[in-house]
């Protein structure tokens, strides 16, 4: 398959992909399942030591290749693997697992909502992924990696495991359930009572073993880290760099959907464990490195005042893990983000002033979510957090009004319908400190099954 210009659409790059420690810079073969550096215990990245060979093509040529692949929909080269050379290029196309993830729509925000926010903006609906969150991007890369690893290494049954605030477990269980039952088993650890019923139902439905423990996500993460340290398991948290690498596709898609013009763009991202924001920054850096985009966008990290260690670090220069309080942005309710060292490194080395962060209140998160959804959107509480964050950053002058804006709505409204219901019933005052604004409350109206009385209630006038 060749473009008119003679460019091959099929991958012809020869990668030298390795794990690379972000601290001591030692490298390790991808033939091992590693999550931290065996030497110094720091986080790992996936690095293609032959990345510079990709520069044999110009930025313009890469844009042509990616744009044409988008229109052709070739197996193995769609979804996140449209950007095969930038994700896990060592995986043959036949080992790629595609369950419909990626290519999520970039929706122009409703005009009245833009007026309320103070600028025109777009919402990228990552809730329109198969398990209804952005986590599917990282699971597609991690499970494709595992699929290829199993074929090459023929291990005994692999146990895929993760700690979760709800969405990671839904995505992990879904993708693992697609592989042969003889090859993989799936286990998820959840903080009891701290995921929504919809999120709990997802891994159960996919057949995973669901372990509930007391505490919050950070407690689950500690246990999973111990298991990954001592036992042969495949860790599916974003600490595993094969997951982060797939989540770079969010940045690739935003760039593609913005006509590859990302300078002057601000991307608002809700931050929890900081895997997503890390991946998005790494993705834009890849594109800049290859001359595919015209400059780095501003990344705006958003956190709730009940869980904001990264925003505090950005404001004060000091990082302190914190004990979280209940947050309606429950999926991002994390006091000690595992990927914080990566964020710090990426900001200090590359993004500098192009990374900013804001803290929003629980009230702002709920109001922004409900108002957005009253204007044609389907954002979750974390999406509401991103939108609230953009509004606040504009008001505080942290980002300039003269620009273009994208808010990452990381999952689907329906996963968090319980918070909407609690708001309508005035149940978020305690714990969350959220008052229900009457103009945002909506309740069903019970009536007799009688057209006349329903018409009267609706104020309808008979047709003349
Ligand atoms: C819906 C949703 N939004 C945001 C986040 C935060 O992403 P990260 O933990 O990668 O910072 C999560 C993570 O669990 C999530 O599920
Ligand atoms: Zn190291």
Q: Does residue 229 form part of some domain?
A: no
Neighbours of 323 (CB within 10 A): 10
Q: Does residue 24 form part of some domain?
A: no
**Would you say residue 227 has pLDDT above 70?**
yes
Q: Does residue 60 form part of some domain?
A: no
pLDDT score of 8: 87
Whether 146 contacts 179, CB under 8 Å: yes
**Would you say residue 4 has pLDDT above 80?**
no
Q: Does residue 203 form part of some domain?
A: no
Looking at residues 338-346, what average pLDDT do you find?
Answer: 97
> Ligand 1 centre and the CA of 303: distance in Å?
11
Whether 97 contacts 143, CB under 8 Å: yes
Q: Which atom of ligand 1 is nearest to the CA of 217?
A: 14
Res. 321 pLDDT band, cuts 50 70 90: very high
Q: Does residue 2 form part of some domain?
A: no
In CATH, what number is assigned to the domain containing residue 318? 3.40.50.1100
Q: Does residue 90 form part of some domain?
A: no
Q: Pocket of ligand 1, candidates 236, 276, 303: which has the most ligand atoms within 8 Å of its Cβ, to mutate?
A: 276
Q: What is the pLDDT of residues 257-294, one digit of tens each?
A: 999 999 999 999 999 999 999 999 999 999 999 999 99
Q: Pocket of ligand 1, candidates 128, 134, 241: which has the most ligand atoms within 8 Å of its Cβ, to mutate?
A: 134
**Would you say residue 138 has pLDDT above 90?**
yes
| Average model confidence (pLDDT) across the chain | 96
pLDDT score of 373: 98
pLDDT score of 73: 87
Q: What does the block give as tokens for 120?
A: 């025109």
Looking at residues 104-117, what average pLDDT do you find?
Answer: 98
Question: By C-alpha distance, which of 456, 435, 437 is closest to 445?
Answer: 456
Nearest C-alpha to atom 7 of ligand 1 is from which residue? 272
**Would you say residue 451 has pLDDT above 70?**
yes
Query: Which protein residues are within 6 Å of ligand 1, measured from CB?
Result: 133, 165, 167-168, 238, 270-277, 331-332, 380, 382, 410-411
Total domains in the fold of the chain: 1
**Would you say residue 132 has pLDDT above 80?**
yes
Q: Does residue 417 form part of some domain?
A: yes
**Would you say residue 2 has pLDDT above 80?**
no
Res. 5 pLDDT band, cuts 50 70 90: low
> Ligand 2 centre and the CA of 341: distance in Å?
13
The angle formed by the CA atoms of residues 262, 360 and 401, to the nearest 5 degrees, is 35
What is the 8-class DSSP label of residue 296?
Answer: P
Whether 41 contacts 74, CB under 8 Å: no
pLDDT score of 6: 76
Q: What does the block give as tokens for 340?
A: 């914080």
Range of the domain at 311: 106-130+244-440
Rounded CA Rg of the chain: 22
> Ligand 1 centre and the CA of 29: distance in Å?
29
Q: Does residue 77 form part of some domain?
A: no
Whether 127 contacts 412, CB under 8 Å: yes
> Ligand 2 centre and the CA of 454: distance in Å?
69
Looking at residues 3-22, what average pLDDT do you find?
Answer: 89
């Amino acid at each position: 398959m060749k473009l008119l210009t003679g460019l091959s659409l099929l991958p012809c790059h020869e990668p030298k992909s390795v794990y690379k420690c972000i601290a001591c810079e030692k490298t390790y073969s991808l033939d091992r399942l590693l999550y931290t550096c065996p030497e110094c215990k720091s986080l790992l990245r996936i690095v293609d030591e032959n990345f510079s060979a990709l520069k044999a093509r110009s930025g313009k040529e890469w844009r042509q290749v990616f744009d044409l692949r988008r229109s052709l929909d070739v197996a193995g080269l769609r979804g996140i693997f449209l950007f095969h050379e930038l994700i896990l290029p060592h995986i043959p196309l036949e080992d790629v697992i595609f369950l419909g993830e990626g290519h999520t729509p970039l929706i122009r925000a409703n005009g009245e909502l833009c007026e309320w926010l103070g600028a025109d903006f777009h919402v990228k609906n990552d809730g329109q992924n198969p398990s209804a969150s952005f986590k599917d991007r990282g699971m597609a890369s991690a499970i494709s990696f595992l699929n290829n690893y199993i074929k090459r290494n023929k291990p005994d049954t692999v146990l895929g495991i993760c700690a979760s605030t709800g969405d990671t477990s839904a995505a992990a269980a879904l993708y693992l359930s697609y592989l042969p039952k003889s090859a993989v088993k799936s286990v998820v650890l959840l903080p009891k009572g701290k995921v929504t019923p919809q999120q709990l139902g997802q891994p159960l439905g996919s057949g995973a073993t669901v372990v509930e423990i007391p505490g919050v996500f950070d407690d689950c993460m500690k246990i999973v880290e111990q298991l990954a340290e001592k036992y042969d398991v495949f860790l599916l948290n974003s600490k595993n760099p094969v997951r982060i690498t797939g989540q770079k596709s969010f940045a690739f898609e935003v760039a593609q959907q913005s006509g590859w013009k990302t300078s002057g763009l601000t991307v608002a991202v809700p931050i929890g464990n900081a895997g997503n924001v890390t991946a998005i920054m790494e993705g834009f850096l890849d594109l800049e490195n290859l001359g595919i985009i015209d400059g780095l966008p501003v990344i705006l990290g958003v956190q709730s005042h009940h869980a904001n260690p990264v925003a505090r670090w950005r404001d004060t220069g000091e990082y302190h893990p914190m004990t979280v309080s209940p947050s309606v942005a429950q999926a991002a309710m994390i006091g000690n983000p595992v990927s914080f060292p990566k964020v710090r490194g990426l900001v200090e080395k590359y993004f500098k002033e192009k990374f900013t962060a804001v803290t929003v209140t629980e009230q702002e998160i709920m109001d922004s979510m409900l108002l957005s959804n009253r204007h044609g959107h389907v954002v979750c509480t974390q999406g509401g957090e991103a939108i609230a964050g953009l509004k606040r950053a504009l008001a505080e002058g942290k980002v300039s009004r003269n620009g273009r804006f994208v808010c990452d709505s990381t999952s689907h409204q329906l996963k968090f319908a319980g918070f909407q219901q609690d708001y309508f019933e005035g149940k978020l005052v305690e714990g969350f400190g959220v008052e229900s604004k009457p103009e945002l409350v909506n309740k069903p109206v019970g009536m007799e099954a009688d057209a006349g009385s329903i018409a009267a209630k609706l104020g309808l006038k008979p047709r003349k």
